[in-house]
């Protein structure tokens, strides 16, 4: 808790309230309104939480104007370049970069939890073959609470730790098996001799009929995509996880709730929608038509992968992703990928267009990620499951932080009610 003695004065009707203010280590000051209703008999109104801090956190900081993203204080571009995903997981979970000994203890803990209970494989077979992989991973993640009873007691720090490691370790297996099920291929078991990203790629693309060797270039790109998606402050899915967790729900159910929220096209589903949009545009000469549609108030079409609630400058993840797309597609010899060319030209045109400039709409993390995932060989339906796999550690870090906070209580927002006032029931014959 940061010490502060300043107050904000709120004058209304015949009241004048002094509301305490608090200063963060980074970002805007806050006005603490927890006692506003008790003292003033009024609510605040902020349906999209555009001006509302829902919690205190030490995990991730975003400066939307500077286009800055810090995981525990470390900038995302440095972590993407110099770190790797499991080290970033340690940082997000425990607050500090691990030393060599800590890292060498952490990695095997995750590696040895990558297998699923064998009976869980039957859950997959209950889905239609053409089920969207997000429906499968949402269901299987929630079902984990029926298998791992020894790590569902949120009041036991050790069980919270075991559940956390299990989910970080098993999400790649669940996502990979959802993909294998959708293409009618047999499940490939995790391998403990492979790093996190290589293991995921192997489970997705290996087949029993022949050996599959993971391309280190692809593995590095995959690992970097996981790092870029690992956490992002109090976004919609993280807020969903926190709200579910505030009721005391078991961790597996909370993460399943986060997966469900992430699926939306305004959130994590945008990477799938962005690539589908780029493919629909098809060629550079059709870009103006889509720019016009995006600007047309009567057209619900939006440029998917553009805009952000917080970033009013470049999304730093999009910059790294764009560089990675150039590198990966160049190394794969497909730098002239038409979709990448359309994306770059669309970005160039949009960033010169007054509509996008005035509304401060820039490419976000989802604009380029799909191009890399497509080049690696994933169908668009796997883009959001990959986002969910990466974000699992962020959801868990935020959930653990909330559960460990002695002041936390169940989240229960109020409302601005504009419905019918009190009225008595009328029998049907009198209506």
> Interface with ligand SDX by CB under 6 A: which residues?
48, 232, 235, 266-268, 270, 294, 302-310, 359, 361, 364-366
Catalytic residue among 195, 231, 315, 366: 366
User: Judged by CB, which is closer to ligand SDX: 45, or 122?
Assistant: 45
Min CB(76)–ligand SDX separation in Å:
11
Spatial CA neighbour of 322 closest among 280, 377, 364, 358: 364
366 tagged catalytic: yes
Q: Least Å distance between CB 165 and ligand SDX?
A: 23
**For ligand SDX, the closer CB: 366 or 374:** 366
Residue closer to ligand SDX (CB basis): 206 or 390? 390
Looking at beta carbons only, is 47 or 333 nearer to ligand SDX?
47
Contact 367, 343 (CB under 8 A): yes
**Minimum CB distance to ligand SDX, residue 178 (Å):** 21
- Provide the token pair at 208: 């029993």
Phi and psi for 301 in degrees, rounded to 5?
-60, 135
Catalytic residue among 308, 326, 353, 427: 308
Residue nearest to ligand SDX (CB): 307
Rounded to the nearest whole angstrom, what is the least distance from the CB of residue 324 to ligand SDX in the complex?
16
Q: Which is nearer to ligand SDX, 115 or 266 (CB)?
A: 266
Closest distance of CB 300 from ligand SDX, Å: 10
Please indicate whether residue 308 is annotated as part of the active site. yes
Question: C-beta of 243: minimal distance to ligand SDX in Å?
Answer: 15
Q: Which is nearer to ligand SDX, 195 or 374 (CB)?
A: 374
Rounded to a whole number of angstroms, the minimum distance from the CB of residue 341 to ligand SDX is 20
Q: Which is nearer to ligand SDX, 279 or 309 (CB)?
A: 309
**Residues with catalytic roles:** 308, 366
């Amino acid at each position: 808790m940061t010490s502060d003695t300043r107050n904000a004065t709120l004058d209304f009707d015949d009241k004048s309230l002094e509301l305490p203010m608090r200063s963060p280590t980074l970002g805007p000051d806050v006005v603490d309104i927890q006692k506003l209703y008790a003292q003033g008999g009024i609510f605040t109104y902020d349906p999209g939480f555009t001006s509302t801090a829902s919690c205190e956190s030490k995990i991730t900081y975003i400066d939307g104007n500077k286009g800055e993203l810090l995981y525990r204080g470390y900038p995302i571009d440095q972590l993407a370049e110099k770190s790797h995903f499991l080290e970033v997981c340690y940082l997000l979970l425990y607050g500090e970069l691990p030393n060599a000994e800590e890292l060498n203890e952490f990695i095997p803990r995750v590696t040895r939890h990558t297998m699923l209970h064998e009976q869980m494989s039957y859950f997959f077979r209950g889905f239609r073959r053409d089920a969207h992989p997000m429906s499968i991973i949402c269901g299987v993640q929630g079902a984990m609470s029926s298998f791992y009873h020894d790590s569902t007691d949120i009041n036991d720090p050790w069980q919270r730790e075991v559940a956390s490691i299990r989910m970080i370790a098993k999400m790649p297996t669940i996502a990979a098996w959802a993909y294998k099920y959708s293409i009618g291929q047999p499940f490939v078991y995790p391998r403990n001799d492979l790093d996190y990203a290589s293991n995921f790629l192997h489970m997705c693309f290996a087949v029993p009929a022949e050996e599959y060797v993971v391309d280190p270039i692809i593995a590095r790109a995959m690992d970097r995509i996981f790092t870029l998606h690992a956490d992002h402050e109090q976004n919609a899915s993280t807020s969903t996880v926190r709200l579910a967790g505030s009721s005391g729900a078991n961790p597996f159910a909370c993460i399943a709730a986060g997966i469900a929220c992430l699926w939306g096209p305004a959130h994590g589903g945008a990477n799938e929608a962005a690539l589908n949009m780029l493919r629909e545009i098809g060629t550079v000469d059709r870009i103006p038509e889509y720019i016009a549609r995006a600007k047309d108030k009567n057209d619900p079409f939006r440029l998917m992968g553009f805009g952000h609630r917080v970033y009013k400058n470049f999304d730093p993840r999009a910059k790294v992703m764009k560089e990675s797309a150039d590198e990966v597609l160049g190394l794969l010899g497909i730098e002239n990928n038409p979709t990448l060319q359309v994306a770059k030209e669309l970005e160039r045109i949009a960033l010169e267009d007054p509509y996008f400039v005035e509304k401060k709409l820039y490419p976000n993390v989802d604009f380029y990620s799909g191009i890399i995932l497509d080049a690696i060989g994933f169908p668009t339906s796997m883009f959001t499951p990959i986002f969910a796999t990466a974000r699992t550690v962020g959801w868990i870090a935020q959930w653990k932080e909330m559960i460990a906070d002695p002041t936390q209580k169940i989240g229960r927002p109020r409302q601005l009610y504009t419905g019918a006032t009190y009225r008595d029931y009328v029998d049907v014959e009198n209506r």
